[in-house]
Amino acid sequence: MKIGFIGLGNMGLPMALNLLKAGHQVLGFDLVKTQLDAFAAAGGLVAPDAATAAKDVEVLISMLPASKHVEGLYLGQTGLLASTNSNTLLIDCSTISPKVAQAVAAKARAAGFAMIDAPVSGGTAGAQAGTLTFIVGGDAKAVERARPLLGAMGKNIFHAGASGAGQTVKVCNNMLLGIQMLGTSEALRLGIANGMDPKVLSDIMAKSSGRNWALELYNPCPGVMENAPASKGYAGGFGVDLMLKDLGLAAENADALDANIPLGKLAQALYAAHSKAGNGQLDFSSVFHLKKVN
Ligand code: NAD
């Protein structure tokens, strides 16, 4: 297949490389030159701009930071909906507001496009290994069209419901993840303050009722897990500011629907304090080092 891929960052680059490995022709674009160079070095074709990456491709995938980037890419006079062939299937894998995903997909539909929201879970390790979970919202026919391609980048593909449903599930999941990482960090800090070896503590809790994904697969304490961002200076991975963005989406969504999420809002405040202290670009598990608040 001929595929356009826009946004070759921590997630997009390894995802696009897996499409190349599966034998597809991939035309990539990013605003950052180092990302384009890495893509070209691995055999990808680099487009000079987004419109060229989207021209005459069967499928266009976007993997951008936030809602405003996705709106900017697709909408408006210079947006891709105005310049791309409507036979192209549009797949947005970014994590954005469910409302914005619904609005962009509705405008795409009105312009004759099929579009799905397909945010992912599984982190940069999952993106590299091609084992991501895709949580998809949109029309069943479009989801089936996308399925073989998503299968080249992921292991689990869930059709959550209509347009925006993928983003709703993703926002709920990431709010839980953000809370879980804070709780895991607190338990580890308390054990360490008591003189416990964090590895021994982690091994025991991982086989007890406190077990969870952050503890078992993404341990926030340096040295416990060789491949976790915590053991690599919290570089790469899933940034504090991206987690903060997702908690903001959860808070905005909850306020609009009068849903009660006190822990989600507390988590938002704690990641905000951690980001303000200069850690926004570090992996979110660096919240293990959150300075004492109050
Ligand atoms: P990133 O910041 O590393 O990458 C985003 C890329 O998009 C950057 O390289 C940036 O230059 C590029 N970009 C921005 N605007 C652009 C435009 N108009 N045209 C072309 N390129 C543009 O972010 P990431 O970690 O790859 O995350 C991407 C999305 O995936 C986010 O919505 C994030 O919440 C979500 N996500 C990330 C992870 C993770 O572990 N990093 C996991 C699941 C979901």
In whole angstroms, what separates CA 50 from the centre of its chain? 20
Question: Closest Cα to atom 31, ligand 1: which residue?
Answer: 65
pLDDT (mean) for 277-287:
97
In whole angstroms, what separates CA 84 from the centre of its chain? 25
Show Cβ contacts of residue 153 under 8 Å, excluding neighbours closer than 6 positions.
15, 18, 19, 127, 130, 132, 134
6, 15, 52, 64: residue to mutate for ligand 1 pocket, most atoms within 8 A of CB? 64
Q: How many angstroms does the Cα of residue 149 sit away from the middle of ligand 1?
A: 19
Q: Which residues pair with 45 in a beta bridge?
A: 27
Q: Are 25 and 3 within 8 A, CB to CB?
A: yes
pLDDT (mean) for 250-276:
97
In whole angstroms, what separates CA 158 from the centre of its chain? 15
Band (292; pLDDT cuts 50, 70, 90):
confident
Domain 2-162, second-level architecture: 3-Layer(aba) Sandwich (3.40)
Distance CA 79, CA 82 (A): 6
pLDDT digits (tens, 9 = 90+) for 217-250: 999 999 999 999 999 999 988 999 999 999 999 9
Question: Closest Cα to atom 13, ligand 1: which residue?
Answer: 7
pLDDT (mean) for 118-124:
93
Tell me what percent of the residues of the chain surpass a pLDDT of 90.
95
Please state the atom number of ligand 1 nearest to the C-alpha of residue 35. 9
In whole angstroms, what separates CA 163 from the centre of its chain? 17
- CATH 1.10.1040.10 residue window(s) in the chain: 168-289
Q: Are 42 and 12 within 8 A, CB to CB?
A: no
Q: How many angstroms does the Cα of residue 126 sit away from the middle of ligand 1?
A: 15
pLDDT digits (tens, 9 = 90+) for 45-68: 999 999 999 999 999 999 999 999
Q: Are 241 and 275 within 8 A, CB to CB?
A: yes
Quote the pLDDT of residue 235. 93
pLDDT digits (tens, 9 = 90+) for 137-167: 999 999 999 999 999 999 999 999 999 999 9
Q: How many angstroms does the Cα of residue 66 sit away from the middle of ligand 1?
A: 8
pTM, rounded to two decimals: 0.92
pLDDT digits (tens, 9 = 90+) for 70-88: 999 999 888 999 999 999 9
Ligand 1-lining residues (CB < 6 angstroms): 6-12, 29-32, 35, 50, 63-65, 69, 72-73, 94-95, 120, 123-124, 237-238, 242
Distance CA 38, CA 20 (A): 13
Quote the pLDDT of residue 237. 86
Which H or E run contains 25? strand 25-29
pLDDT digits (tens, 9 = 90+) for 17-48: 999 999 999 999 999 999 999 999 999 999 99
Quote the pLDDT of residue 76. 85
Q: How many angstroms does the Cα of residue 143 sit away from the middle of ligand 1?
A: 22
Q: How is residue 239 annotated by DSSP? A: B
Q: How many CB atoms lie within 10 A of CB 209?
A: 6
Which H or E run contains 4? strand 2-6
17, 68, 242: residue to mutate for ligand 1 pocket, most atoms within 8 A of CB? 242
**276 is an active site residue:** no
Band (293; pLDDT cuts 50, 70, 90):
low
Among candidate residues 21, 155, 170, 207, the one labeled active-site is 170
Tell me what percent of the residues of the chain surpass a pLDDT of 70.
99
First to last CA, the chain: 55
- CATH 3.40.50.720 residue window(s) in the chain: 2-162
5, 10, 120, 285: residue to mutate for ligand 1 pocket, most atoms within 8 A of CB? 10
Averaged pLDDT score across all residues of the chain? 96
SS (H, E, C) 67-102: HHHHHHHHCCCCCHHHHCCCCCEEEECCCCCHHHHH
Q: Are 144 and 180 within 8 A, CB to CB?
A: no
Q: How many angstroms does the Cα of residue 34 sit away from the middle of ligand 1?
A: 14
Q: Any idea what the Cα angle at residue 171 is, between residues 170 and 177, rounded to 5°?
A: 85
Domain 168-289, second-level architecture: Orthogonal Bundle (1.10)
Counting beta carbons within 10 angstroms of the beta carbon of residue 166, is it exposed (0 to 12), middle (13 to 18) or buried (19 or more)?
A: buried
Measured CA to CA in angstroms, residue 291 lies from 36, 270, 288 at distances of: 37, 10, 9
Crossing angle for the helix pair 165-193 and 240-257, to the nearest 10 degrees = 120
Show Cβ contacts of residue 16 under 8 Å, excluding neighbours closer than 6 positions.
5, 8, 26, 28, 39, 44, 61
Quote the pLDDT of residue 77. 84
Quote the pLDDT of residue 247. 98
Quote the pLDDT of residue 294. 56
